[in-house]
């Protein structure tokens, strides 16, 4: 397979520095986009070609384009962090690249080579480096690589052409007012993914499937939905866009990957970070009944959710049909806070990067 090099066609009119600075002062999440994007095409018989870095702009699509009807779409999410010396680094982009390949495979889409995925992210971050917020806070530049089927036609089959794009958006601190626990609605009837389905692929369809349950969580006064397994409605899987961890004193436990759980890079990193800090870390099945019983007995001391966007979010109150309980005293637990600091320390270049996770862009 050929690896296209990315042709640089930068904007003649990037946003003036003063306007960019005004956005960076309060970026929020996913509201503002940088000056550029990277696009790479794939065509049957030709493979990957025409890699370009171009000004950020709308993409014209024929109304009969595959993705608009049959949803061949996958995406990724990773962040670039400003380091203490002013340089910029991304966190484990190879992991996102590999997951992007697994998602592509599941949706019958072509697999972008790992090095091309990383090259595309690097090209965009280098070009829009001034959009990476300063070191010192919890801000970062969020990268959103994605791919869509672009064949025109209503026949149901894998598209014979695809468009891969990377865009970037400055992200503010997830918890501007300090880390605050989220409340969780454990849905007994809605499911996110089924065995043999596409729960382990990062695809827009899984998010579309989660929106109604999310609205139901809000109607129950909760911030997030926790999904149980689709067969027994018993085993805890994950939130709509974050994995879960249970803290039993010195041991942290995350649900075993059963095929319907998305394999988070943060989840994986925390298994290692926790062991580095002297905790035990393991994967196991946890039922919703056990969650409640172990909280009530005091054995389960903390619960947190994790993902690239928020890094680590403590779970406070849990509600499910007719019952409700609260982890600890409703404030972030000690282990949760320690793991959060440890991972943020690596990402922000404050702690030694023992595992070679940071991808430095200079
Ligand atoms: C992206 C995602 C996560 C978190 O993965 P990270 O790689 O840690 O950001 C968890 N669950 C779902 C459903 C996701 O889409």
pLDDT for 178 equals 76
CA–CA distance, 304 with 320 (Å, rounded to integer): 17
Model confidence pLDDT, tens digit, residues 109-165: 999 999 999 999 999 999 999 999 999 888 999 999 999 999 999 999 999 999 999
The pTM for the full model equals 0.97
Quick one: which atom of ligand 1 is closest to the CA of 78? 9
Average pLDDT rounded to a whole number, residues 166-172: 97
Same-domain check for residues 116 and 157: yes
pLDDT for 282 equals 97
pLDDT for 16 equals 98
Same-domain check for residues 205 and 312: yes
Same-domain check for residues 267 and 149: no
- Taking CA atoms only, the protein residue closest to ligand 1 atom 6 is 264
Please say which residue of 171, 194, 210 terminates a domain.
171
Position 200 in a domain: yes
- Taking CA atoms only, the protein residue closest to ligand 1 atom 12 is 241
Give me the residues paired with residue 304 across strands: 245, 314
CA–CA distance, 203 with 68 (Å, rounded to integer): 14
Residue carrying structure tokens 């090209």? 123
pLDDT for 343 equals 97
CA–CA distance, 101 with 118 (Å, rounded to integer): 12
Q: Which two tokens stand for residue 86?
A: 């002013």
Same-domain check for residues 91 and 215: no
Ligand 1 near 224 CB (within 6 A):
no
pLDDT for 173 equals 82
Position 253 in a domain: yes
Position 2 in a domain: no
Domain of 297, in residue numbers? 182-347
Instruction: At 338, give phi and psi (nearest 5°).
Output: -65, -45
How far is CA 206 from its chain centroid?
Answer: 13
- Taking CA atoms only, the protein residue closest to ligand 1 atom 1 is 241
When the pLDDT of each residue in the chain is averaged and rounded to a whole number, the result is 95
Same-domain check for residues 243 and 318: yes
Position 360 in a domain: no
Ligand 1 near 238 CB (within 6 A):
yes
Same-domain check for residues 164 and 188: no
Ligand 1 near 307 CB (within 6 A):
yes
Same-domain check for residues 92 and 229: no
Ligand 1 center to 165 CA (angstroms): 19
Same-domain check for residues 106 and 235: no
Position 65 in a domain: yes
Model confidence pLDDT, tens digit, residues 11-42: 999 999 999 999 999 999 999 999 999 999 99
What percentage of the chain has pLDDT greater than the value 90? 92
Same-domain check for residues 158 and 187: no
Q: Do the Cβ atoms of 89 and 358 come closer than 8 Å?
A: yes
Q: Do the Cβ atoms of 76 and 144 come closer than 8 Å?
A: yes
Quick one: which atom of ligand 1 is closest to the CA of 265? 7
The CATH number for 254's domain is 3.20.10.10
The CATH number for 121's domain is 3.30.470.10
Position 357 in a domain: no
CA nearest to 149, candidates 49, 244, 62: 62
Q: Do the Cβ atoms of 339 and 273 come closer than 8 Å?
A: yes
Same-domain check for residues 35 and 140: yes
For residue 68, what pLDDT band results from cuts at 50, 70 and 90?
very high
Please say which residue of 171, 192, 225 terminates a domain.
171
Same-domain check for residues 15 and 151: yes
Model confidence pLDDT, tens digit, residues 73-123: 999 999 999 999 999 999 999 999 999 999 999 999 999 999 999 999 999
pLDDT for 330 equals 74
For residue 180, what pLDDT band results from cuts at 50, 70 and 90?
confident
pLDDT for 93 equals 98
Please say which residue of 151, 171, 191 terminates a domain.
171
Position 354 in a domain: no
For residue 2, what pLDDT band results from cuts at 50, 70 and 90?
low
Position 261 in a domain: yes
Ligand 1 center to 97 CA (angstroms): 14
For residue 214, the tally of other CB atoms under 10 A from its CB is 20
Ligand 1 center to 11 CA (angstroms): 32
CA distances from 219 to 208, 212, 227, 254 (A): 18, 11, 16, 27
By most ligand atoms within 8 Å of CB, the mutation choice from 227, 255, 308 for ligand 1 is 308
Same-domain check for residues 194 and 159: no
pLDDT higher for 177 or 78? Answer: 78
Ligand 1 center to 353 CA (angstroms): 22
Stated as kind and residue range, the H or E segment containing 212 is helix 204-219
Q: How many folded domains does the chain comprise?
A: 2
Which residues are CB-contacts of 16 (< 8 A; sequence separation ≥ 6)? Answer: none
Pairing between strand 311-320 and 182-186? Answer: parallel
Average pLDDT rounded to a whole number, residues 281-308: 96
Ligand 1 center to 310 CA (angstroms): 10
């Amino acid at each position: 397979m050929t690896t296209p090099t990315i042709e640089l066609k930068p904007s003649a009119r990037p946003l003036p520095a003063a306007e960019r600075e005004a956005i960076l002062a309060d970026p929020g999440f996913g509201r503002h986009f940088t000056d550029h994007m990277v696009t790479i095409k794939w065509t049957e018989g030709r493979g990957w070609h025409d890699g370009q870095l171009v000004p950020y702009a709308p993409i014209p699509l024929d109304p009969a384009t595959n993705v608009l009807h049959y949803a061949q779409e996958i995406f990724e999410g990773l962040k670039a962090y400003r380091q203490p010396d002013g340089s910029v680094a991304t966190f484990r982009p190879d992991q996102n690249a590999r997951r992007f390949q697994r998602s592509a495979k599941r949706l019958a889409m072509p697999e972008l080579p790992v090095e091309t995925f990383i090259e595309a992210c690097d090209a965009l971050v280098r070009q829009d480096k001034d959009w990476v917020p300063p070191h010192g806070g919890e801000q970062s530049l969020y990268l959103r690589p994605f791919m869509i089927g672009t064949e025109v036609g209503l026949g149901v089959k894998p598209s014979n052409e695809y468009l891969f794009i990377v865009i970037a958006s400055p992200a503010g601190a997830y918890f501007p007012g300090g880390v605050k626990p989220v409340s969780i609605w454990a849905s007994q009837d809605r499911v996110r993914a089924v065995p043999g389905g596409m729960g382990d692929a990062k695809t827009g369809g899984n998010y579309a499937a989660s929106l109604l349950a999310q609205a139901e969580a809000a109607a129950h006064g909760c911030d997030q939905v926790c999904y149980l397994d689709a067969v027994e409605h018993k085993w805890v899987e994950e939130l709509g866009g974050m994995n879960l961890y249970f803290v039993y004193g010195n041991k942290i436990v995350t649900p075993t990957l059963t095929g319907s759980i998305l394999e988070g890079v943060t989840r994986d990193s925390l298994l290692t970070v926790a062991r580095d800090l002297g905790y035990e870390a393991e994967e196991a099945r946890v039922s919703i009944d056990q969650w409640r019983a172990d909280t009530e007995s005091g054995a389960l001391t903390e619960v947190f959710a994790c993902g690239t966007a928020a890094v680590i979010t403590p779970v406070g109150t849990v509600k499910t049909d007719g019952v409700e309980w609260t982890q600890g005293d409703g404030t972030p637990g000690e282990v949760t806070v320690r793991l959060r600091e440890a991972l943020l320390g690596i990402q922000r270049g404050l702690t030694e990067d023992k595992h070679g996770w940071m991808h430095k862009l200079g």
